[in-house]
């Protein structure tokens, strides 16, 4: 058949599937025939060689171990874009005109018949009664793809993983709706969405997760951060945990545990805890060893009711240039294992409606060295104002300036003045 268009198969051209050779023949020189595009389906794959077996739709011819084309590929360390097809994928096989082996040119969606349109499989746009319509009809080539906007680009797989480049510059990467990251060019915002989150770093780790086992309908959540002091440390030194905590550190001192019980700790769950235990905390998940309790040099926590503990094995300095005011609605209990010193550059006042009880050892007033009173001591007292008296001889008056001498019958020799 003469006068045929370039690239269009004529009756005198051999069927590409019946070629005796792919290249270099006097009877079939290279480029003498047009390339052919055949519709087929992948029936097998070779994971080692990155090839597939394809059977054509109409002629039922097999093309074995042919490669799949890519937008770009280079043999240097597998550079390029690639995807491993799965069995059943609908594709086009290209038989080149100049003799090279056939290859898979692209993949297409099969036509499906669906009942109405949906987000996952929107209907096609075939014409309906009364003329052309843009409404969804029973014909669809969606193939399970989400409805997109003009200009959107997506990469997905059947298990839910996806990369979506939305118009407007928004980038969305994830494996499920609860495991994804969204980049928004507006204010250069990055949004992470997850049900459980883990980040491991040479300096420590972040674990934000749901604690399963306590409740299946409303499980508790925990955010746990660990920090190494040196990058090569095997264990972490600092742990910060927030949430409904169940693995809190046990206080090493029996006295502290007794204080906590007396103050009402333990009735509500701990919601925040900070621990410093050198090299006794797992840097990966924040788990503690058996020695963490005794090795902890600082612990700070508070529970759901606001009960708070601050314990440190070191010294504490609190310095303020302004005023300090402390108001306690209940009892105030201060206990020290050493000395107590209170220095005021101004005046001081202690006011107690129920009185003040000073007990203990020697009490010194103004650096005194002599007891205020001792039983049996002789004392002298001068009258400062006239004192009316009644005697056997009749009424009288003790004049101002009179001096009395007596013996102390009661007193406290531990109060020095």
Decide if 89 contacts 100 (C-beta within 8 A).
no
Decide if 194 contacts 179 (C-beta within 8 A).
yes
Cα–Cα distance measured from residue 272 to residue 268, given in angstroms and rounded to the nearest whole number:
12
Query: Are residues 101 and 177 both part of a single domain?
Result: no
Looking at residue 30, what is its pLDDT?
56
β pairing state of 90-95 and 103-107: antiparallel
237: left (phi over 0), alpha (psi -120 to 50) or beta: alpha
Cα–Cα distance measured from residue 138 to residue 106, given in angstroms and rounded to the nearest whole number:
25
Q: How far is CA 102 from CA 19, 23, 87, 360, in A?
A: 12, 12, 18, 102
Least confident of 70-84, 302-316, 332-346: 332-346
* Domain contains 381: no
Query: Are residues 204 and 292 both part of a single domain?
Result: yes
Give 388 or 26, the one with higher predicted confidence: 388
The predicted model gives 219-234 an average pLDDT of 94
Residue 135 has pLDDT above 90, yes or no: no
- pLDDT level of residue 206 (50, 70, 90 thresholds): very high
What is the end-to-end Cα distance of the chain in Å, rounded?
135
Least confident of 3-12, 141-150, 278-287: 3-12
* Domain contains 62: yes
Please give the distance of CA 223 from its chain centroid, rounded to a whole number: 6
Looking at residue 327, what is its pLDDT?
93
The predicted model gives 260-276 an average pLDDT of 90
Domain boundary among 52, 85, 107: 107
Query: Are residues 74 and 21 both part of a single domain?
Result: yes
Query: Are residues 297 and 213 both part of a single domain?
Result: yes
For residue 203, what are its two tokens?
A: 């300096």
- pLDDT level of residue 98 (50, 70, 90 thresholds): confident
- 360-373 tens-digit pLDDT: 778 777 777 777 77
For residue 94, what are its two tokens?
A: 């290209």
Decide if 95 contacts 35 (C-beta within 8 A).
yes
Residue 377 has pLDDT above 60, yes or no: yes
* Domain contains 42: yes
Decide if 38 contacts 92 (C-beta within 8 A).
yes
Query: Are residues 166 and 66 both part of a single domain?
Result: no
Query: Are residues 153 and 185 both part of a single domain?
Result: yes
For residue 400, what are its two tokens?
A: 């101002």
Average pLDDT, the chain: 84
Cα–Cα distance measured from residue 273 to residue 302, given in angstroms and rounded to the nearest whole number:
7
Label each residue of 16-56 as H, E or C.
HHHCCCCCCCCCCCCCCCCCEEEEEEEEEEECCCCEEEEEE
Decide if 328 contacts 314 (C-beta within 8 A).
no
Alpha helices (H) along 90-209:
none
For residue 14, what are its two tokens?
A: 């051999």
Strand partners, 7: none
* Domain contains 255: yes
* Domain contains 204: yes
Residue 96 has pLDDT above 70, yes or no: yes
* Domain contains 295: yes
Q: What percent of the chain has pLDDT over 70?
A: 86
Query: Are residues 249 and 172 both part of a single domain?
Result: no
Q: What is the CATH number of the domain that holds 103?
A: 2.40.50
Residue keyed to tokens 């002091």 = 229
Contacts of 414 (CB under 8 A, 6+ apart): 361, 362, 363, 371
Looking at residue 11, what is its pLDDT?
38
Could you give the number of structural domains in the chain? 3
Query: Are residues 167 and 263 both part of a single domain?
Result: no
Query: Are residues 220 and 296 both part of a single domain?
Result: yes
For residue 415, what are its two tokens?
A: 């109060």
Query: Are residues 161 and 81 both part of a single domain?
Result: no
The residue segments making up the domain with residue 172 are 149-194
- pLDDT level of residue 191 (50, 70, 90 thresholds): very high
Residue 201 has pLDDT above 50, yes or no: yes
* Domain contains 336: no
Residue 7 has pLDDT above 50, yes or no: no
Residue 158 has pLDDT above 60, yes or no: yes
Residue 248 has pLDDT above 50, yes or no: yes
The predicted model gives 57-63 an average pLDDT of 93
Looking at residue 395, what is its pLDDT?
85
Residue 386 has pLDDT above 70, yes or no: yes
Per-residue exposure over 171-210, b if at least 16 CB sit within 10 Å of its own CB, e if not: ebebeeeebbebeeeeeeeeeeeeeeeeeeeeebbebbbe
Tell whether pTM > 0.75. no
Query: Are residues 95 and 173 both part of a single domain?
Result: no
Domain boundary among 247, 280, 312: 312
* Domain contains 63: yes
CA atoms within 13 A on the CB side of 197: 16
- pLDDT level of residue 126 (50, 70, 90 thresholds): very low
Alpha helices (H) along 85-160:
none
Query: Are residues 169 and 201 both part of a single domain?
Result: no
The 3-state DSSP composition of the chain as helix, strand, coil percent (nearest 5) reads 5, 35, 60
């Amino acid at each position: 058949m003469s006068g045929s268009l370039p690239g269009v198969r004529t009756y005198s051209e051999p069927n590409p599937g019946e070629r005796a050779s792919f290249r270099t023949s006097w009877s079939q020189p290279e480029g003498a025939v047009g390339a052919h595009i055949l519709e087929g389906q992948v029936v097998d794959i070779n994971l080692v060689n990155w090839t597939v077996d394809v059977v054509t739709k109409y002629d039922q011819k097999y093309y074995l171990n042919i490669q799949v084309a890519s937008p770009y590929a280079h043999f240097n360390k597998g550079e390029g874009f690639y995807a491993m097809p799965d069995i059943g994928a609908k594709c086009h096989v290209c038989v080149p005109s100049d003799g090279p082996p056939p290859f898979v040119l692209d993949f297409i969606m099969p036509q499906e018949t669906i009942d109405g349109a949906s987000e996952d499989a929107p209907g096609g746009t075939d014409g309906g009664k009364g003329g052309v319509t843009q409404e969804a009809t029973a014909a669809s080539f969606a193939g399970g793809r989400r409805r997109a906007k003009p200009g959107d680009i997506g990469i997905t797989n059947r298990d839910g993983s996806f990369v979506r480049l939305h118009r407007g510059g928004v980038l969305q990467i994830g494996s499920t709706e609860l495991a994804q990251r969204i980049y928004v060019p507006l204010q250069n915002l990055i949004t992470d969405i997850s049900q459980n989150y883990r980040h491991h770093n040479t300096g420590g780790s972040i674990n934000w997760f749901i604690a399963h086992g306590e409740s299946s309908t409303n499980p508790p959540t925990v955010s746990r951060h660990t920090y190494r002091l040196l990058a090569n440390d095997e264990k972490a030194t600092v742990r910060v945990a927030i949430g409904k905590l169940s693995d809190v550190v046990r206080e090493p001192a029996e006295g502290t545990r007794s204080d906590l019980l007396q103050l009402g700790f333990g009735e509500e769950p701990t919601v925040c805890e900070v621990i410093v235990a050198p090299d006794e905390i797992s840097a990966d998940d924040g788990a503690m060893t058996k020695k963490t309790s005794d090795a902890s040099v600082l612990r700070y926590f508070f529970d759901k009711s606001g009960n708070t503990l601050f314990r440190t094995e070191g010294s504490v300095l609190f310095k303020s240039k302004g005023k300090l005011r402390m108001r306690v609605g209940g009892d105030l209990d201060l206990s020290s294992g050493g000395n107590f010193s209170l220095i005021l550059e101004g005046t001081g006042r202690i006011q107690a409606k129920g009185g003040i009880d000073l007990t203990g050892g020697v009490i010194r007033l103004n650096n005194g060295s002599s007891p205020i009173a001792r039983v049996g001591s002789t004392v002298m007292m001068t009258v400062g104002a006239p004192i009316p008296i009644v005697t056997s001889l009749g009424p009288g008056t003790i004049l101002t300036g009179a001096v009395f001498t007596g013996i102390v019958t009661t007193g406290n020799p531990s109060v020095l003045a």
